[in-house]
Structures are given as C-alpha cells and as structure tokens.
Structure 1
Amino acid sequence: MMEKQNDKEPIPEKVKFIDSCEEWPPPPASPGKHGFLFYLGILMDVACILAAFPFLVLAGAAARLDGRVAPPDEWYMIYAAMNAAVTLFPIAYTAIVARTIKVLATWKLERGTTVGFLEQLLASRSLVGALQILWSLRVVNLVGVMLVTLAVISPIGGQASLQMLKIKDVANMTQADVTYLTTLNGSYSEFESGTYFYEALPGMNSMYAASLTASAPVKNSTMDLWGNVKIPSLSRLAAPADHVGWQDVAPDPSLEKYSSLIGIPARGLSPDTNTSYTLETSYFDLDCSKMVNGSTAECGNSTSTNTTKPAFYCFPGSTFSFGIDEMLASSYGPTWAYINDTDREFPQRTIRFASTSMPALTVAYCRISTAYVEAAVNCTGLSCAVSRMRPSLRPHPHPHLVPFEFLYYFNGFFWQLPLATKTQAATRGSQLTEYYINDPLLPLANTYRLLVPLFNVSPRDMSIRLGQVLNSYYLASLDAWGITGMSSGSGTPVSTANAETVVDGTFRNITTASTVSTNRVLYACQWAWWAVFVVACLVMFVVACIGALLNWRTEAPDILGYVSTMTRDSPHVSVPEGGSALDGTDRARLLKELRVQLQDVRPRDGVGYLAVASLEGPAKLPVADRMYK
C-alpha cells in the first residue's frame, strides 16, 4: 500500500481504487467452485443438457404425425412451434457450443497446451471466427474442421426445424355408384304417354322457359340452372381425337358448344368428394340451310307414310311451327325398337322450322340425326364438367332415326313446343323461343320488337340454336322433376285409388361405377430434413454433456476471454495483492471501475514500450512516429 498522502495533496486514482476493493479476496484462496457460482454452474449445465429435449420432442412429433390427417387448428399450432424453433434453435445451439468450447479451452489450459490451440478454440465460437482463425494461424487441422462443422450445423439445423414437416393434399380413391338420367333404351318421354303429358306440362314449360332466360354466365357454364352437367356437341369440338376416339373439351365458357341448355341429372355425388365417371347419352344434331321466302302452304295434316312424295306435317299454332318431310310409322315409337335392323337403310329426315317474320316468313330446313356419345365427367364436389367425349361404342339404333318421325310423338311434341311460352299477345309478336334463336345470351333484350327477323340468323347459328331448343324441350319431357332436383319415381305405370293408371315419375336411370376421390390434408414428414434436425439436436445434446463434464473436472479458474485477465501479474496495473484464483467473471466484476489504457510505459526511453497500464491521469495516445518495442 502507498504511504499516506498529505491532506493538501490529491490522492492518486489508483490509491482510491485499491482502497475501494473491499471484496478482494485475501491471499491465499482456493481455486475450487464454491458459493453462488457453484449453484449457478449446476443450473447452467442442467439447462444446457435439457435444452435439446424440446427440439427432440418436436422432431418426434413430426415423425409420429407423418401420414396422419392434419386438422387446421392442430397444423396451425405445430407450424407456430416450427416457426419458433427456426429462431430458437440457432440461439440455443450457438450458446451451448460456445460455452463448451470455452470450458474445453480452460480444461486444456489447466493441463497444458499450445497458444495456437487455445486461440483456435476461443476464436471458433462462430462460423466466421472458425474460418478466420484458420487463415490467421495458417493451419488446416482436424480440430479446425470439427469446429467449422459445429458452426455450420447451427443454421442448417434451424432451417431443418421448419422444413421437416409439411402438409399435402392426398386423394383417397374409392369406387361408388352414380345414377344418371338416360336418354337411351328405356328412357320415357311424357309425349309417349298419350294425353297424360298434360299433367307434366306446367313443370316442363316452366323449366324450358327458365333455361331460355337464364343469365349468360349460367348459359356459358358447364352446368345448368339446377346443377346438372351439360353435354357438349361432339361435332363442335376443336380438339383432335386420340387413337380411341376421345376428344378433349376445352374449358373455355361457350354456349354454342353445348347441345342443350338443360343438363343430365346425376345422383350419388357428394359435396365433400371429387367424382369421375362416364355416361352414355344422346342428343339431336341439326344441319340447317335457310330460305327467307316461305309459305304455310307446305304444311298439311296428312298421316300418310308414303315416302315417294315428301310432305311436311306442321302444327302452326303459334308464331312459329315445325314440320318433318316424312313419317316412319303412325305410333309413339320408340327408335330403340329398330336397334336390330342393322341391314336396313333409314333416310335422314328434314325438319322444317317456320317463323313469322317481317317482311317475309323465315323458313329453315334442317337435316336431323341422333348423336350417341360417351362423355367423361369430372366433378369437384357438386360442380361438374365434361372433360372429354367420343362416339358411343355401344350398340344403338341408326343415327338417322329420331322420335319425331313417329306420328303420335310428333303430334304431341310439336304441338306443345310452340305453345310452351305462348302468351295472350302471341299473335302480335314473336315467342321466347324465337327471341332465344335471335339472341341466345340476351333473348329478352329486343322484346319491344313485335316480330324478330330470324332470316338474319346464319345457317350455322340456326343449326346450333334450334338444336339446343329441341334438345332442351326433349330433356324436359323426360323428367322435369328429377332435372330440377326433385326425387323421381321409376317411370313405371301405377294405379291410383280411383283406378286411373298414371306414370309414377319418368326418371329412367342408368347406374354406372365412378371413381370417388376424397381430398384429405395429411402431414408429410420430410425425412431428409428430419434426419438433419435430429442430428443437430443430438450434437447439441452431446456438446452440452461434454461441456458439463469438463466443467466439473476443471479446477483452474475461468480466465480465458476476459479483458480483466490482462491485469494479472502486470507491473503496470495497480491492483491489490492476491486474487490469482479468481474466475474471469469475478475479476471483471471487482475491477469494473479500474481505468486502464494501452500506453507507453517507458516514455523517457529512446524506444517506447506499449502495455496495458493503469490510467492515473489524462489519457496519452501513442505517438505515431515513435518507435516501440
């Protein structure tokens, strides 16, 4: 201790500091761990060892959940945990590795080692430091490789915690039956029931009128007003056919590609599944030519089936009418009664459509046939669309056969169609059917005109629009209740309580097998990332255990990495005697107010000497042009 100064002289800073170090341990002192640091060390070692377990639990959960259904709420919590892990893992890993490296350096210093080894350890507590010290020491050794590897694991392990578990949509494929309305053998039209069609007319005509006045998005969509899939016209598909006849149906919205405004109802679909099935169906295909100047003189009511002299059998009844050039038989049909007449030639019939127009009668002649097709339908929930089509490969009647060439059927169908949307003012203006043929997307836009000029419609458009009119009314006559979503009967005649025979529904259906896929959201463990994360967690655990073991096998004080260590045994720093067994943390705490500077400790010599020394007065910077040892 310095001698006591006079009251008039200022007391030097170093004396003030030395007198204030009341906690400085008197020599001698034991280097062993004791007191608060003992328990703090235990707590830190246990915490480092246990730090790996939450991450291992997360990895175990990822492996366990692989392939299981992922409820949204559960996935949200797990994803939040992985998001937290991607931040927390590098922090915990780096802290544990850095602590263990320092403990290892202290342990090696206690037993004797090289300065280069200690520098390499203490500088490698980060990836940049591990690489930089290899360059600084100009060494490439196994220790350096191991330290760089330990540093690299930190960011990779953090990223692996976020990537090891994902979710994916998986389709569960099963088989189920789908029942749909058939237009083939066994179908039953209301116009085949004699006069019983009167009971069905309100439903048929309402549904027909609704389909004509539906909005443009509905008309252009793949489904009708009631959720039934619409069948495109095979002849209007642009895609080439493949080797088995399939043609793709373009997904673009286009009214003109559909054969009818009313679709084919199907039962057995579920809003929670995706369903794929094929259906066999048919529709009428028209090829029209047109003459502007026509007359009603071509129409007659003869029931002759003489094919040598064509005649049109028309039912005016409204502002438009239909006729056909020849009848096959005076009956209701059906055409399927002739399926075995494979060696017989059936002439293609011509439909005559006449509409009252100004200044002349619009008359269109359309050659008509039946198209038998197979359609592949894909449904997402209850939303369906035909994805591809081909000509039917099943036996069917000759395509030239149509139900309209059977006199009784013709009489009922073409008697009621012109009256389906007739109003009391019908004789003064065109009907809704004519408005549709004139403008399919906005049929009511020009209703102020008494008579629409259908002679302006091209033959191509007449073929498409008139075909849609015939097919829509025909489908409505098959099952007005089933098409609009009501349940239908089997179509078999039954007797009522008053002994009257009626038809219990007209839904003659076909059941077909379908492929049902249920989209399920499943957990998917990314095993490569999972393995990386588990290895990183195990490395962190092993490093923590090694650090704890070395910490309790080291008796030397922890002095590495502290600035206060430079005050040990220095003749240029004024500190109390003793304290050689202090840890770096204790020494730094006790000397935290000590003022030091890298200064010239030989200012009067010709050559100076730089050392860390106590700062007793104003700081004096080294002189740039002075030489130092």
Structure 2
Amino acid sequence: MAYIQIGNPNNSSSQSIPLDNIELNTRYGARTDNYAPPSGTPPDRDTKNVDSKTAFRSSEAPVNSWPFHSQRAAALTPSRMSLMVFDAILASSPIMFVALALTAASLDGKEVSQYGDRLRQTLLLSPTIFPLIFAALMGRFFRHLGVYLAERGTTLGRLEQLVGCQSVFSALERQLCLRSWSVVGLFSIIVWLLSPVGGQSALRLLGQESNDITSTATVRYMDPQTISTSVILGASSANSGRSTFTSIFLAALLSSSKYQATPMDLWGNVKLPIYRYIENSTSDEWKEIQNTTNANVTYASLIGVPIVGPPSAGFSTFNIKARQFDITCSSNKMMDRDKSGFGNLTSTWKLHPLNLSKLCGDNKDCKVPDCKSYPCPILSKSMADDTNFTDLQFSVANCEIFFEYFESGVRCNGTSCAVYKMKKLDLFGDGYTKELDNLTRGNFLSNEMSFMPTVDNYNVGNAGARGSTNMEKWMMDPTDFIGARYNNVELYRLPPEVFAERLTILYNTFFQSTYGSLALGGHLPQNLTQTGMMTGTSYGSNITFNGTEATVLQESKMVYKTNWKWFTALLVCSLVLLAASYTGLVLKYITLAPDIIGYASSLAMLNPYVPIPTGGTTLHGLERAALLHDLPVRIGDVCAKQPVGAIAFGKADDGLVARLDRKRWYI
C-alpha cells in the first residue's frame, strides 16, 4: 500500500492491530502528531500571555484561543447563553405569520380602513420573507435532528438525508442519489413544499368586496291609459282646463334651457328619449341608450312620466310603459302669404292637418278632417317677419305625426332616475283599442293643434302684431328665447330635421300637461303604493298607477374578505414551521455532540494529513473554521511518490499533498 497504517509506522507486518492499542497519533512525513490533549482545565480565553505556539511547529502561525486543554462538551458559557437567546428569538419568528393570519381573520366583514390597508401592504412582503425564514429555520431543524440522532446512533444514509435536506431540490436529490425512497425522505420533501404555499397564501389571504344587498320592490308609474282623461277632449273641457295646462306647459317651456337635456323634468318625472334616434342603433329588440346623463340624448318631452316608489337609497332598475307622439318633416321653407294659405292674422302660428285651408278656407265652422291612420300629415305655418303687413313672409313646414307605444327600462340612483333602454310595442296593447285611437286622432290631435299655438296669447287683441309666441321663439333657439321682443322669428332657417325634433318636444310637452296634472308636481300620496290610484278634482278624473317590479341594489362600503382556504394554509404552514423551529432549538441544546457535520473545517478534525494543535474536539464546525481560517488546505494526492495515489484532504503548504493528475491512478 502506498499509505502508512496509523499505529504501525514501520509497516513491517500486515498483522491487524487491536483497537485498544490504537493511539491518537499519526506519522506525517517525519513528524508525529499527538491528538490526545493534556488533562486539566483549559486556560482563560481572554488571557493574553498564553503561548499557543507550543502546539504548533515554530514555522506556523499561532492560533489564538485554541482550546488545547481538556474541557466539557456543550459547556454553558456566556457566549453560548447569548447565542441561546438569539436562537430563541429566531425560532419565535413564525409567530408573526400566525399573528398576521389571525389579524386578517379578525378584519373579515369590516369596512376598509387605513389599518387594514397597512396590513395588506405587509402581507405583500410575505412571499419574500416567509420562504427566507422557512429555509433558515427548517434547515436548522433537519441539521440539529441529524446531529441529535448521530449522537445516539443512526445510519449514514439517514444522517445524509437529514443533514443534506436544506431545500426541496436537495431533499429530492438525496432520495434519487441514495437510491433509497424512505419515509424520512418523502416527509422532508413534503415539508419543504410548505415554503411556497405559506408565502403565496399570505399574498392571497385578504381581499376586498362590497357587501351589497339585492332585493325587490314595487314601483308605480302613471298608467298610459290616463291620456283618455285629457282635458282637450273637446272645446268646452279644454277651455275649462286652460288655466291648468297653460301654467304647467309654460313652466316646463321656460325652464327648458336647464332641463331640456336632463333625464328628469323639473318636478322629478322620468323623460323618454326620442325613439327614432336610437331605433337603428342595434338589431336587438331593446335599444340601449348611451350616456343618459349626457347632453347628446334628446328627450321627446319636457315633461316626464310620474313614478313613485324608488328607494331613496341604493340602485333600482324597473320598466315602465308610455305613449308619445313623434313628428318628422320633409320640408321647411319660406313662402309668401298667398302661397302659404295662412289666412287671417289672428295668431302668429297655426297648426292643422294638410290641405285644411283648401277644404275649409276661412270658414271657422268647418270641421277638421279626421286623420284615418298614422302618420297624419300636418302643416306648421309661422309668421316670419313684421316689417309691414303688405308683404309678409311665412315659414311653412310639411310634416307627419306618429303616435307610438314604448316600454322603457329605468335605472335609478336613489330617486334620481333615467331611461337607459327602450323597445317599441304594438300601439294597440294594454287596453288601448281602435276606438280610443279614433278619439286620439279625431279629438286630441286636432284640438292640440288648435289650442297649443295660442296658449300664451289666447284672447289677446291683434295677436298677430305682438310678435312670435314663446313656442315659436323656443323652436328657433331653446337657449335664448325669453323676454319681450315683439318680433317674428324666421323658423324657415331651421333644417327640417331640427324643426321636427323641436316640434316633437313641444307637441308631447303640451299633450302631457293636459292629463294627470295632479301627479305631475311630485309629492304623490303615500297610500298610492297600496291602492295604485289617486283621486282628485281634475275635472272628475281618476289617475291610475301601474305597478312594476324593481330590482333594488343596496350598496355598502367596501369591506375586507378573508379567504379562509388560504388562511388555513398560512396558519398550518406557520404552525408547522414554529413547531419545527422550537424542536430544533431544543435538540440543539440537549445534544452534547458538536455540530461538525457538513462543515469544511470538520475534514481537518483528527485528520493525519492536517496537523493542527492539540485538542479542539468540542468545537462546532463554524468555531473550528474561525480558528483555522488561514490554514492552507487542498484535496490532493497524499501518496504522490507512490505508484498508485490516494486522494485525501490535507494541508497544502507542506509539499506532501500534490495536485491531482487526470492520467494518474488512485485507490
């Protein structure tokens, strides 16, 4: 052999040496190193006059505070007690994750606060902090467990699995490389998988949600059939109700500059948009209305549909039904008096069915021809200027009027409501018969065209000389029309589309002021929700309200929501880590054997090729490395002069440990 057997330096015989004759010494070259330390208490580490060179050759640097005298294993020294305090604090660090989990659980269902937001910010750090602490504590646990078992006796394979288990990869590597799938190895892999689970569970532990409550309620709106109670059924009833509809109509008209583009009128009734503007927006039956609070929506009337019942708080959604007029115009141009057929100058504006002037002329008793079906052709004639009465000009618009039935979806935020979708229904539905439609076309239509143009100058002498009515001036410019001007506006300057839009708004506004007037001003009676009807002296009429089901969403402030699955995962991972850290702490301080497994300095312990001072067997691996910090070492050939080499860990500067050669053979 190319190496010398310890205890038989002459190698004169191959006879085995009894174990009780083996001495703690070895021959290294021409020097014999004795590993048995002298008896007695080691000198004080703080003593400066200790000559530590006695344990070294004269050519070697001294090692300060080397324990070359005998001492007890795991002696309780001040430094060891300080380290114990540090280890206890470190082992208790998983408690903060348990505290975070319990604190997050306590916030479940509570309103969002600065305290909770700070906790969420802290939880965002957990995916970084938890794996670091887990690796530190769980790695220490497996190491201390391995040293504890090594002191009491275990197998080398099990020791390698425990000491080398410092991550998921290393635990799996030990299982594969040792070619032994043991329960300990599988347990270590499962335990290390808790590290990413614990970090991610903290990140997903606490969220936010709204604790909204959805319910249903009954909302009532004015029955579309209420139009049959309009006071313009005949001339006599219209004259009796003139004071009522005049004030309502003019109040809405004079306030239009502010409320024209709002989804509710000045009394809080819900207005319906002009349907033909959204009719081709989609192929669906329901036509969605975008930006209901935007001025781009054009509403068909300045007076809306009265509703009662939306909750004062929360969001509600329901449907209502209503009928309204729509007017389109094919032309709007200037004509002289003869071609316009305006007739006597008893007013500045006249509305009538097409060809009325040819049928009746100036005969005041001539009956207005009935409109047989929709659309009904009508003419609008307005005086255009008043420079003289011999060469007057008139604005003449050729239009058609429709009467239509709609269902509208209404969305309310508290009592602030807006129509957000519409669909067209069959006109003859929900009790509206052809007989009632004949009444609409034969009476309401013609009477409105008779009463509306003179609503603000009725029974005024020489009305034609007082300038355009408020209605005409509003059509010319809805934003600037109020005041005594005594001139005639030139409506022919308006494009037919714009004229038709504004005439539609006026026509519907006037018609809605002639029925259900008791319900238009708001403050509807509370018992309306039970009876669905309100009575009054509105010329003997009763106003019926239809009920519709509303979906009510009561929103609440954002609250914290604890994810209980991730809460359980974090709590389990933290408790497992806490148990492992405390167990490792106990094992560390009840184990007498120094922790030398897995340290590079442990390769120099009682190594015949690394001469070191006497003693030091009670040192931990890191303590030994600190004292031998500058010792040159090498893994090399300790039998360089022999035919077959031997690889070992030895001291590098003695010239007896050669470098390894790829072409050389080693035992």
TM-score normalised by L of structure 2? 0.67
Specify every segment of 5 or more residues in structure 2 that has no aligned partner in the other structure, as ranges: 1-30, 34-53, 233-237, 357-370, 386-392, 482-487, 527-533
Cα distance between partner residues in 2 of 1:363 and 1:394:
34
Cα distance between partner residues in 1 of 2:91 and 2:646:
47
State the one-letter code of the partner of 1:97: M
TM-score normalised by L of structure 1? 0.70
Contact 1:346 1:401 in 2 (8 A): no
Contact 1:176 1:514 in 2 (8 A): yes
In structure 2, the residue matched to 1:564 is 601
Q: Does 1:575 align with 2:616?
A: no
State the one-letter code of the partner of 2:129: L
Correspondence 1:191-206 to 2 at 5 A: 193-195=241-243, 203-206=251-254
Q: SS state of the match for residue 21, structure 1? A: coil
| Cα shift at 1:120 | 2.3
Correspondence 1:212-251 to 2 at 5 A: 218=261, 229-233=270-274, 237-238=279-280, 247-251=286-290
Distance 1:623 1:194, change over 3 A: closer
Contact 2:636 2:660 in 1 (8 A): no
Contact 1:204 1:480 in 2 (8 A): no
State the one-letter code of the partner of 1:203: A
Cα distance between partner residues in 2 of 1:13 and 1:399:
124
Specify every segment of 5 or more residues in structure 1 that has no aligned partner in the other structure, as ranges: 4-10, 301-311, 327-344, 444-448, 495-501
579-588 or 389-398, which moves further after superposition? 389-398
Q: Does 1:541 align with 2:578?
A: yes
Distance 1:178 1:313, change over 3 A: farther
Q: SS state of the match for residue 226, structure 2? A: coil
Cα distance between partner residues in 2 of 1:57 and 1:547:
22
533-542 or 17-26, which moves further after superposition? 17-26
| Cα shift at 1:75 | 3.5
Q: SS state of the match for residue 186, structure 2? A: helix
In structure 1, the residue matched to 2:443 is 405
Q: SS state of the match for residue 614, structure 2? A: coil
Candidates 96, 99, 102, aligned match of 1:54: 96
Q: SS state of the match for residue 209, structure 2? A: strand
State the one-letter code of the partner of 2:453: F
Question: What's the C-alpha RMSD, in Å, of the aligned pairs?
Answer: 5.2
Deviation track 1:502-560 (CA, whole Å, cap 9, x = no partner) reads 99xxx998886643212233333333323322321232133224323433442211111
Correspondence 1:168-567 to 2 at 5 A: 168-175=209-216, 185=226, 193-195=241-243, 203-210=251-258, 218=261, 229-233=270-274, 237-238=279-280, 247-251=286-290, 258-260=299-301, 263-264=304-305, 273-286=314-327, 317-318=347-348, 320-324=349-353, 351-355=378-382, 361-369=395-403, 371-380=404-413, 382=416, 384-389=418-423, 391=425, 394-396=430-432, 398-402=436-440, 405=443, 411-416=450-455, 431-435=472-476, 451=490, 453=492, 457=496, 464-474=501-511, 514-520=550-556, 521-567=558-604
Cα distance between partner residues in 2 of 1:429 and 1:372:
29
Cα distance between partner residues in 2 of 1:85 and 1:584:
32
In structure 2, the residue matched to 1:163 is 204
In structure 1, the residue matched to 2:64 is 21
Q: Does 1:30 align with 2:53?
A: no
461-470 or 154-163, which moves further after superposition? 461-470
Correspondence 1:3-22 to 2 at 5 A: 15=58, 19-22=62-65
Contact 1:357 1:452 in 2 (8 A): yes
Cα distance between partner residues in 1 of 2:566 and 2:343:
78
State the one-letter code of the partner of 2:155: T
Candidates 133, 142, 157, aligned match of 1:101: 142
Contact 2:636 2:650 in 1 (8 A): yes
Contact 1:45 1:544 in 2 (8 A): no
Distance 1:106 1:357, change over 3 A: same
Distance 1:291 1:411, change over 3 A: closer
Deviation track 1:472-507 (CA, whole Å, cap 9, x = no partner) reads 455578899998x9979999999xxxxxxx99xxx9
Distance 1:20 1:417, change over 3 A: same
Q: SS state of the match for residue 558, structure 1? A: coil
| Cα shift at 1:54 | 2.6
Cα distance between partner residues in 1 of 2:470 and 2:270:
33
| Cα shift at 1:384 | 3.2
Candidates 64, 69, 89, aligned match of 2:130: 89
516-525 or 388-397, which moves further after superposition? 388-397
Cα distance between partner residues in 2 of 1:169 and 1:316:
65
Contact 2:231 2:514 in 1 (8 A): yes
Which entry has the higher C-alpha Rg, 1 or 2? 2
Cα distance between partner residues in 2 of 1:189 and 1:53:
81
Deviation track 1:195-239 (CA, whole Å, cap 9, x = no partner) reads 46665576333223545xx6xxx58xx667998643135566358
Distance 1:184 1:53, change over 3 A: farther
Contact 1:237 1:257 in 2 (8 A): no
Contact 1:168 1:522 in 2 (8 A): yes
Cα distance between partner residues in 2 of 1:416 and 1:280:
28
| Cα shift at 1:141 | 2.8
Cα distance between partner residues in 1 of 2:80 and 2:379:
108
